[in-house]
Structures are given as structure tokens and as C-alpha cells.
Structure 1
Amino acid sequence: MKILKTGLLLLALAFNAAASAESMSRSAEIDKIYQEDQKTRSLFKRGDIYDRPAELKSDAANRMRLFEMMVDDLPWTARNLALASVVFQHTNTGGESEENESWRSQENHLLSFFMARKAARLGLFEQAGSMVGRIDRYLKASGIPRDYGLELVSTTPFKVCTINPDVTDEQRLDAGLPLRLNEMMKEFCH
């Protein structure tokens, strides 16, 4: 019994150390994002000259990274993530005639994408098409060409890739899609 207790204690300590290291890494990244955000805000306060389009892209990219970290840390099942993804993707695209809905952010489509991607990572591969659909809705709502998005290449084996691999992530950022899809989809496009 003593050996079992010692083994469990060692296992708990190892798990705690790994979780603590991951938490410290995440905290350092969040701190870096916060510092970048505050640097931009200080430019506004002082009235300095700044590159507003570049700052908007940077702000959006930072929010996307926070969305991604938030979803990756959720202790949810693949099914729960898939269901939440559906709810978040029901964001007014601007082309829909819904009164008083202008407050809904297009970034909800991207949060929905992260949820569908996490569900697929957890084995709910039918979310492959959802990943594609969530990006499509964002592109349509934002007036970005569809070839900047994703396509479902196959369901068996599960494979989702960028439609046009020649479109760089920097081109996507310049067009208003704050995701590095080429990099992000490597795990699904092999």
C-alpha cells in the first residue's frame, strides 16, 4: 500500500509540474500579447503616428491567438465543442436581414472554427466540414476571396487543406483573415 501511495504521489507531482510549466508558458505568451496591446494603446494616448491598418491586423491576430488558447484549454468533450461551434457560427454576416444584430462580431466565426478544429483533434472527424464552413462564412462576410480558405480534401482519411497553398499567411492577414491557415492546418493536411 505504501508503494502505491508513493507512486500516486510521484505521479501527482509529475502531473502538477507539467501543468505548472504549461501554465507558465501560456501566462508568458498572454503577458506578451498584453504588452503588445498596451504598446499600441499608448500610441493612441500620446497621439503618435502609427500604422492603423497594421495595428488592426496585429490586434485581430492577438485576439485569434487568445481564442485558440482558450479553446485548447477547455476540458470539454468533442461533442460539446461541436455543438458550441454551431452556436457561435450563427453570427450575422452582414448580408442577412436581421435587425439590431450589428453588435455580433465576425470573429465568432473564427472562434467557431477553433472549436470545430479542437473537436476534430479529439476524434470527431465529421467536424472537418465544419472547419471549412466556419472559415467560408468569415470570408464571405468579410469580402475575402474564397480561395484564401479551406477545403475538405477527404473524409477517409480525414484531410483538410488550404484551397490555394500559394496564398501566403501574410496575404491572408493583409486581406483581413487574421489566421495563419497554412501553418495551422499542417496537422490536418498531410
Structure 2
Amino acid sequence: MKMLKTALLLLALTFNAAASAESMNRSAEIDKIYEQDQKTRTLFKRGDVYDRPTELKSDAANRMRLFEMMADDLPWTARDFALVSRVFQHTNTGAESEENENWRSQENHLLGFFLSRKAARLGKLEEAGSMVSRIERYLKARGIPRDYGLELVSRTPFKACVINPQITDEQRLDAGLPLRLNEIMKEFCH
């Protein structure tokens, strides 16, 4: 019995050390994002010359990375992620009618994308279509051409890919889509 308790203690310490290392890496990345954000805010306050379109893209990309980290670190089930994705998808700001996509918070579409992607990673493969539709709604609301987005290639086997792989992630960023879709969809497009 004493040996079992010792083994369980060692296992708990090992798990705690691994979780701590992961937490330290995440914290370091959050610190870096925060420092970038504060550097931008300092430029605003001092009235320095800066490239505003580049800063806007950087700000959006940083928020998207934080959303992704948040979704990756939550101890939820695939079903939970799928349901929360739908909730974010239907967030109404109250400013416009439902017929107009502009009333939706665009970043909620992207958060919904990450939540659907997490649900798919956890085995809820029917969320593949949700990943695609979340990106489509974002593109529509922003007036970005659909070929900058995703398509569901097949449900069985599950495969979702960028519509036009010739469009680079930098071109997507320049168009206003703060996601590196070519990069982050590799795991689903093989």
C-alpha cells in the first residue's frame, strides 16, 4: 500500500511539473503579446509616427492567438466547445437587424471558429461544417471574398481546407482576416 501511495505521489508530482512547464510557456507567450500591445499603446500616447494598418493587423492577430490559447486550455468536452461556438456565432450587438451580418461581432465568429476546431480535434467531427461557416460569416461581414476562406472537402474522412491555397496568409492578413489559415488548417487538410 505504501508503494502505491509513493507511486501516486510521484505521478502527481510529474503531472504537476508538466502542467507547470506548459503554464510557464503560455505565460511567457502572453507576456510577449502584452508587451507588443503596450508598445503600440505607447506609440499612440506619444503621437509617434507608426503604421496604423500594420498595428491594427497585429492587434487583431494577438487577440486571435489569445482566443486560441483560451480555447485550447479549457477542460471542456467536445460537445461543450460546439455549443459555446454556436452561442458566440449568434451574438447580437443590437445595432442592426438580423438580415445584416454587420451586426454580429466579427471576433465572435473567429472565437466560434477556434471553439469548433477544438470540438473537431476532440472527435466531434460534425463541427467541420461549423469551422467553415464561422469563417464564411466573418468574411461576409468584413466584405472579404469567399475564396479567402475554407471549404469542407469531405465529412468521411474528415477534411477541411482553405479554398484557395495560392492565397498566402500574409494576403489574408492584408485583406483583414487575422488568421493564418494555411498554417492552422494543415492538421485538417491532409
TM range (shorter): over 0.9
Matched residue SS, 1:187: helix
Q: Match for residue 174 of structure 1?
A: 174
- 5+ residue gaps, structure 2, are none
Report the CA distance shift for 1:93/1:145 in structure 2 as closer, same or farther (over 3 A). Answer: farther
Q: Match for residue 8 of structure 1?
A: 8
* CA-atom RMSD in angstroms: 1.9
Please show how residues 76-87 of structure 1 align to structure 2 within 5 Å.
76-87=76-87
- 5+ residue gaps, structure 1, are none
Greater fraction of residues in helix: 2
Q: For each residue in 1:139-180, what CA deviation from the matched residue of structure 2 results, as whole angstroms up to 9, or x when unmatched?
A: 000000100000001111111100000010000000000000
1:34 deviates by 0.2
Detail structure 1 runs of 4+ shifted over 2 Å in the superposition: 91-96, 101-105
Percent identity over the alignment?
84
Please show how residues 100-139 of structure 1 align to structure 2 within 5 Å.
105-139=105-139
1:21 deviates by 0.3
Q: Match for residue 97 of structure 2?
A: 97
Matched residue SS, 1:177: coil
Question: Is 1:42 equivalent to 2:33 in the alignment?
Answer: no
1:3 deviates by 1.2
1:95 deviates by 11
Matched residue SS, 1:160: strand
Q: Match for residue 26 of structure 2?
A: 26
Q: Give aligned pairs, total.
A: 188
Question: Is 1:65 equivalent to 2:83 in the alignment?
Answer: no
CA distance in 2, matches of 1:188, 1:25: 25
Amino acid at match of 2:114: F
Could you state the TM-score of these two structures normalised by the residue count of structure 1?
A: 0.94
| Contact 2:119/2:125, CA 8 A, preserved across alignment | yes
| Contact 1:68/1:114, CA 8 A, preserved across alignment | yes
CA distance in 2, matches of 1:4, 1:94: 58
Could you state the TM-score of these two structures normalised by the residue count of structure 2?
A: 0.94
Amino acid at match of 1:189: C
Moved more, 75-84 or 85-94: 85-94
Q: Match for residue 186 of structure 1?
A: 186
